[in-house]
Amino acid sequence: MRFLAVLVAFGLLAGCGTPYQPHGFGGGYKEQQITSDTFLVQVRGNGYTSAQTVHTYAMRRAAEIAQIEGYTYFAVLEERQSAKVGQITTPGQYHATTSYIGGTAYTSGFYTPGSTTSYEKPRTQMTIKLLAKAPVGEPGIYEAAQVLQYTANVLD
């Protein structure tokens, strides 16, 4: 019974996609400063979050870092996407009923098999460089304010 309660609680916690938040139990973002103007941004989703959403979270966090640090632009130097893949298996259960007839016990029941569910938790890791000005014609340069404007829907 205790296992079932834990399983239900886990299901309620994991039943939603990862919200845009600092890294916690259900995923989220975190960053590490590498140099004065270079950061490593990591985002982890749970089994209900798409790889596209995780990428969008990383872009949004990069834009926030640029603005917090007083920069207008950022460049994505490197990005890696991956996923943690696994399975959760619940045990089967036997449900029995015992009846007493004439002093004799009769037991009948049925077995409910367990189930196995696969999951995939997407991850994005991005190295960004903060820029005061955007070099003309360089690909992979983003204006922080525009990224924040166009990714505002991830907060809904």
- Per-residue pLDDT tens digits for 20-71: 989 988 899 999 999 999 999 999 999 899 999 999 999 999 999 999 999 9
- 138 lies in some domain: yes
- 23 lies in some domain: yes
DSSP per-residue codes, 26-94: TBEEEEEEEETTEEEEEEE--TTS-HHHHHHHHHHHHHHHHHHTT-SEEEEEEEEEEEEEEEEEPPPEE
- 38 lies in some domain: yes
- 71 lies in some domain: yes
Residue span of the structural domain in which 25 resides: 16-86+119-155
Name the pTM for this structure. Answer: 0.74
Give the HSE-up count for residue 34: Cα atoms under 13 Å, Cβ half-sphere. Answer: 10
Domain count, the chain: 1
- 140 lies in some domain: yes
Residues 6+ apart with CB under 8 A from 113: 92
- 107 lies in some domain: no
- 95 lies in some domain: no
- 39 lies in some domain: yes
